[in-house]
Amino acid sequence: MKLENKNILLILHYGSLGGAERQALGLGKYLEEEKGCNVDLLLMHSGFQTKEFSEFVKQSKIRNVFYFGEPYLYLPKKFTFKNIKRIRWNFNYINKLRKGLKPYNYSIIIPYLNHTSKLAYFLYKVLPSVKFTFWHQLGLDIIKKDWIEDIVRKGIPCVIGNAPNCFEIFKKDLPISEDKFHLLPQNITLEKKDVDSELIKRKHNIPKNAVVVGMIAHYRQDKYFDLLFDAFHNIEKKTSNKAHLILLGNKKNDQSSLAIYDKLKSRVKECKLEGKVTILSNVEVEDVLGVLDVSVLMSQIEGMPNSVMEYMLYGLPAIVSNHPGCKQLLLNSEYLIPNDILVLESKLKKLIDDKEERINEGNRNADRIKEFSVSSYVQNLEKIISKYL
């Protein structure tokens, strides 16, 4: 099935511009501009949109953005009076969406992450025009182990993951026939932008001649900002070059994000690293990418991380936790490492001290990322859809 001149619905949790959101909106833009599709967006959990998200939506030419109020999609495995109420609450929520979305005649629903995938399945069942949807498993996510998930896993056409470890959750907690599993690596959604690096350095008090190390990720517990902070603190005086560290996330995502941001800011003062470490929030990702010399992503788990793809697009050497999705990107790079502070210190020091190594590794990454285009992603998605229609 070709994704041309179709009405397509994307489903996201809410309007914050993380990796899944960039993937969704980048795909929407391509389908609008190159495939003649009408693409709408459903925000499931909140109608809130950050400024950068709403601007990305406009750039993506998304036709409509919907939010139908607080969702209810949960049915624990209990025989209780409250569960009878929960059945009604689930039905009312799905019916409200059915009435609101039916006039748009969607043929394909593309969800991002687990909870939206479960909603996509029920919309697939209640909207007559919808021909296909799937469970979209992307890295770390929540499993409820309730009856809703049992219903969906038995009826969903297929599961698409962006890295091999995405299927572990199904083998363990939600057994599904293996012929329903499909591996589809993500695509790069960012367009490389030239920035005035000297101006940005002055703005954030980064020394002009410093080798700039950076990590771009959500301020979440599964992203190991502290590991990088500690490694940088341990080696910055031992390197032959002056070094500076930038950490970028969005402190406004939730209270947990704000707490992590505040803790990192406090650590800078406690360790007397003012002028050597910069903690940022709500700054354009292109501005940070444009001043980095070395990029890092240390984390508990990943699908196929957008930030690593963006590092590669900008021709940066990347020190990355050796998760399966990261291996798809960086192959046999020596900078795929365990979450070990001594190994991280060694790789950081090597790249900070050796400009030629930074250039060579960055060039390899820039060449490799060319394989992960949105057009290739769509072609492979069409092949998967065609197996079920």
Is a pLDDT exceeding 80 seen at residue 220? yes
pTM of the shown model: 0.83
H-run or E-run covering 134:
none
Decide if 1 is inside a domain: no
Q: Are residues 178 and 280 in the same domain?
A: no
Q: Are residues 156 and 60 in the same domain?
A: yes
| 21: its two tokens | 């959101």
Q: Are residues 41 and 183 in the same domain?
A: yes
Decide if 2 is inside a domain: no
Please provide the average confidence, as pLDDT, over all residues in the chain: 94
Residue 349 has what pLDDT? 97
* CATH number, domain with residue 158: 3.40.50.2000
Q: What DSSP designation does 382 have? A: H
- Kindly report, residue by residue over 21-56, the tens digit of the pLDDT: 989 999 999 999 999 999 999 999 999 998 889 999
Q: Are residues 146 and 157 in the same domain?
A: yes
Percent residues over pLDDT 70 in the chain: 99
Q: Helix, strand, coil shares of the chain as percentages rounded to 5?
A: 45, 15, 40
Q: Are residues 247 and 316 in the same domain?
A: yes
Q: Are residues 226 and 284 in the same domain?
A: yes
Closest CA to 44 of 85, 87, 9: 9
Percent residues over pLDDT 90 in the chain: 83
For residues 321 and 298, is the Cβ–Cβ distance under 8 A? yes
Q: How many domains does the chain have?
A: 2
- Kindly report, residue by residue over 165-204, the tens digit of the pLDDT: 888 878 888 888 889 999 999 898 888 999 999 999 999 9
For residues 121 and 156, is the Cβ–Cβ distance under 8 A? yes
Residue 140 has what pLDDT? 62
Q: Are residues 343 and 378 in the same domain?
A: no
- Give the range of the structural domain holding residue 348, as residue numbers without chain letter: 197-371
pLDDT-derived band at 361, boundaries 50, 70, 90: very high
List C-alpha distances in Å: 194 to 294, 307, 314, 316. Answer: 17, 18, 10, 14
Is a pLDDT exceeding 80 seen at residue 367? yes
- The average pLDDT across 124-142 equals 90
- Which residue is it, tokens 């959101």? 21
- Kindly report, residue by residue over 86-107, the tens digit of the pLDDT: 999 999 999 999 999 999 999 9
- Cα(337)–Cα(319) distance, rounded to whole angstroms? 7
